[in-house]
Every structure is written in structure tokens, then in C-alpha cells.
């Protein structure tokens, strides 16, 4: 990798995003770390510089804000940073009856889960296409494979991410650009607390975020594709195909009912 090429990780201050940053630093990638928590980003950047001798640029920005993706790209241009690996990881959920949850909170979630991901991909992809090399890892969820009552908008947002990413992968065939669509199930991060989910009882329990990231990077090395980490998650999704969707929705409603 050239000295001017960087991997950009959104939501890099914790959870799956932090694990991606650590794993990529260990692989020798230069890093742009993006999140809202400046102190955590700066601490991670300093750690990676010392332990792995890689440049690490912290960028404090709220990607759910209007125009945030464009502001981020302008910052990259000002610092003369070229992105050849984009990890769209930032996102959150909301649990409860759709009409009782605050509309502004759900709109913010949709802007982050969908809008920021699409905008960053659209803004950074042309340079990858011109160089005929690069990679995109879009973090979706097993929630995107079926309706999930009491977190309906979140599940729908992840269904969009999965469909968008798989479609984009086909558009980019033969371009030299790899697309990984990562669909983890329940993962041991602060996602549930930050999203005010509580702790739903998920089949198979929770995975370690390191396992999720390892699965994504293996797929990246092999040329990309759809990744569902964990045997129980794979079995759960396979079993859903045998059931009517209304039955699947009833089952997920029992799991996620507040």
C-alpha cells in the first residue's frame, strides 16, 4: 500500500468500528478514524502510531448531520488523503413501537444508517474507479433479512444496506474494487445500550466483535461477497427461508418486544 492511501473507518471509537481499526492497523494500513468522540479517536490514533508505526488521522464529525459526508471528504482533500478502503460501520437503532418513538431520533438513524453510507460511497468511489483498485466494507445486519417488529425502521435500514451493497458489488465486477456486505447478528458491543434496546434474548447469544471483523477481512482477502459471521446466525437465516414471512415476523416480535 502506498504511503498516501488510507483506510477510512466510520464509527471507529468503539465496538465493531474500533475492532476494524485495530485489525487494519495491525495489517499496516494507514487510517482515518471517524466518530463523534474526539478524545477516544485521538487516543486510538496515538496508540496505532506507537504500536504499529502507521499514520492515523482522527476526524471528529457527526455523520448523521446534513452535509456531514461532504464535509468529511473536504477534510480528506485538504489533508491530501486518498481512501482505498472504506469501512461504512457507523449506525444505531431504536427499539419500541414505531409511532411512539421520537420521529427526529428515527430520522437521524435513517440519515446515518443509509444516507451517510450512500453519500460516502458515492463521493469516494470515483477515485477508486479511476485507479481501478479499492475496497468497500458495508456493515449491515442479520436484522435486514426479515421484518423485525419493535425495531422496524432499523431493520428496514439494514435491508437497504444489504440490497444496495450486493447490487453495487455486481456493478463493480471486473473494476478492481471489492465489496464486502457484512451482516453480523447480536454482537458484544455498546450497540444495545446506546440504542436503548435493552438486552433481547437472541438465538445463539452474542458474538465477539473481533470474530465479526475477522470474518469480514477474510472475505475481503478472498474478493468480497456477503458475510454472515457465526454458525448460529447462518442456521437461523437458513431456517427462515422455510417459513412464511408472517411467521418469521411473529417470532422476531416476541424476541424484540420491549
pLDDT above 80 for 185: yes
- For residue 23, the number of C-alpha atoms closer than 13 Å in the C-beta half-sphere is 20
Nearest-angstrom CA–CA distance, 87 and 7: 7
Q: How far is CA 186 from CA 77, 164, 232, 237, in A?
A: 36, 22, 11, 13
Kindly name the residue from 6, 150, 154, 197 that is annotated as catalytic.
Answer: 154
Q: Per residue in 40-52, pLDDT tens?
A: 999 999 999 999 9
Q: Per residue in 60-93, pLDDT tens?
A: 999 999 999 999 999 999 999 999 999 999 999 9
Tell me if residue 6 is catalytic: no
Nearest-angstrom CA–CA distance, 82 and 6: 6
Q: Which residue has the higher pLDDT, 200 or 154?
A: 154
Single pTM value for the model? 0.92
Amino acid at each position: 500500500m502506498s504511503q498516501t492511501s488510507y483506510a477510512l473507518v466510520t464509527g471507529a471509537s468503539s465496538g465493531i468500528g474500533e475492532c476494524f481499526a485495530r485489525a487494519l492497523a495491525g495489517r499496516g494500513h494507514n487510517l482515518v478514524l471517524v466518530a463523534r468522540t474526539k478524545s477516544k479517536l485521538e487516543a486510538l490514533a496515538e496508540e496505532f502510531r506507537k504500536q504499529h508505526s502507521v499514520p492515523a488521522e482522527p476526524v471528529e464529525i457527526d455523520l448523521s448531520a446534513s452535509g456531514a459526508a461532504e464535509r468529511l471528504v473536504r477534510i480528506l482533500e485538504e489533508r491530501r488523503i486518498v481512501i482505498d478502503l472504506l469501512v461504512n460501520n457507523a449506525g444505531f437503532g431504536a427499539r419500541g413501537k414505531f409511532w411512539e418513538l421520537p420521529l427526529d431520533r428515527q430520522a437521524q438513524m435513517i440519515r446515518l444508517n443509509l444516507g451517510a453510507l450512500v453519500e460516502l460511497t458515492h463521493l469516494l468511489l470515483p477515485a477508486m474507479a479511476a485507479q481501478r483498485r479499492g475496497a468497500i466494507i458495508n456493515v449491515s445486519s442479520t436484522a435486514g433479512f426479515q421484518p423485525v417488529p419493535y425495531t422496524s425502521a432499523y431493520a428496514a435500514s439494514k435491508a437497504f444496506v444489504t440490497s444496495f451493497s450486493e447490487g453495487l458489488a455486481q456493478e463493480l465486477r471486473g473494476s478492481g474494487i471489492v465489496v464486502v456486505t457484512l451482516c453480523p447478528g447480536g454482537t458484544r458491543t455498546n450497540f444495545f445500550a446506546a440504542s436503548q434496546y435493552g438486552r433481547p434474548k437472541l438465538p445463539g447469544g452474542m458474538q465477539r466483535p473481533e470474530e465479526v471483523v475477522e470474518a469480514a477481512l477474510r472475505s475481503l482477502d478472498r474478493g468480497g461477497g456477503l458475510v454472515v459471521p457465526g454458525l448460529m446466525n447462518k442456521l437461523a437465516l437458513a431456517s427462515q427461508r422455510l417459513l412464511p414471512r408472517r411467521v418469521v415476523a411473529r417470532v422476531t416480535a416476541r424476541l424484540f418486544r420491549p
